[in-house]
Amino acid sequence: MSSLKSLVSAIALAETQLQLEDSVTGKIGEYFAAKRYRLFLLSQLPAVASRSKLFKLAISTEYNPVLRYLLEHHAPVHEEVLLPTEKWKTICPRFDHAHVMVGPIVDGGNLIGGLALTRDRHSLAFNSQNLLDLSALCLHISTRLTKIQSPHRQLNSDCLKLVTPRELQIARLVAQGLTNAEIGRSLWITENSVKQALKRMFRKLGVASRTEAIALLFCSSTTDC
């Protein structure tokens, strides 16, 4: 079985998001003796949920206290931290989801996804050491995923002077392909607040679209910023 050190090395060597989601996450699942495991991005969940009513319910913060904790605290958690023993089974009756643990994937201070692991009813619950290990792994995954998603981009220092820190946060999420609604959920602001921030940013930069704004704010490392 993989060690924590070898998992950190595997994360650092991953060249694509697919490698992180597939082979690296598989090794992490084995390390935690998980029945099921998944690295997910919040921007991808709406599309998946639209194909499954059950999955849509599972990612509802009103229904799922573990996911709600992740969104509110950006910290790793397992079900027994939040609920009495056995209570989780009344929320999720799946045999292979009897125990669940999830950790945060962040970028620029924003929650962009999570790493979820489950065990079946015959397995022991996750414990405090598991949470510490997951926290360390999520930190390395977050760092690596940020580098993978923007391998050749750096900030344009001249344009950076024109925007506020919040506008820059929004611009980073736009660059990741998130919609206004998804950006609002990630930053805990309304969709209209996102729209207004983008309008102000467009006006400052002298552009008329999201694409133009991102092209100005971020430039290839092979060009002169």
Summarised one tens digit per residue, pLDDT across range 79-119 is: 999 999 888 988 888 899 999 999 999 987 788 899 999 99
**Judging by DSSP bridges, how do beta strands 77-78 and 99-107 pair with one another?**
antiparallel
Is 225 inside any structural domain? no
- pLDDT over threshold 60, residue 221: no
Same domain for 123 and 14: yes
More confident residue, 188 or 71: 71
CATH code for the domain of 29? 3.30.450.40
Q: String of b and e for 177-192 (b: at least 16 CB within 10 Å)? A: ebebebbbbbbebeee
Residue 120 has phi, psi (to 5 degrees) of -85, 180
Same domain for 102 and 75: yes
- What integer pLDDT is reported at residue 224 of this predicted model? 47
This prediction has a pTM of 0.66
- What integer pLDDT is reported at residue 59 of this predicted model? 64
Same domain for 161 and 138: no
Same domain for 104 and 35: yes
**Number of domains into which the chain is organized:** 2
- Quote the longest CA-to-CA distance of the chain: 60
Q: Where are the alpha helices (DSSP H) in 2-76?
A: 4-13, 17-19, 25-31, 45-49, 53-58, 65-73
Summarised one tens digit per residue, pLDDT across range 26-60 is: 999 999 999 999 998 887 665 544 455 655 666 67
Same domain for 189 and 105: no
Token digits of residue 198:
């983008």
Same domain for 169 and 145: no
Q: String of b and e for 127-164 (b: at least 16 CB within 10 Å)? A: eeebbebbeebbbbbbebbbeebeeeeeebeebeeebe
The span from the CA of 125 to the CA of 33, in Å, is 11
The span from the CA of 159 to the CA of 149, in Å, is 21
- What integer pLDDT is reported at residue 167 of this predicted model? 87
Same domain for 57 and 70: yes
Domain membership of residue 55 as a residue range: 4-149
The span from the CA of 113 to the CA of 103, in Å, is 9
CA 11 distance to own-chain centroid = 15
CA-based nearest residue to 144, from 50, 37, 45, 18: 18
Same domain for 50 and 157: no
Same domain for 187 and 99: no
Q: Are 212 and 198 in contact (CB under 8 A)?
A: no
The span from the CA of 9 to the CA of 136, in Å, is 12
| Domain final residue pick, 100, 123, 149 | 149
Summarised one tens digit per residue, pLDDT across range 141-188 is: 999 888 777 644 555 667 777 888 888 888 888 877 778 888 888 788
Same domain for 11 and 59: yes
Same domain for 158 and 144: no
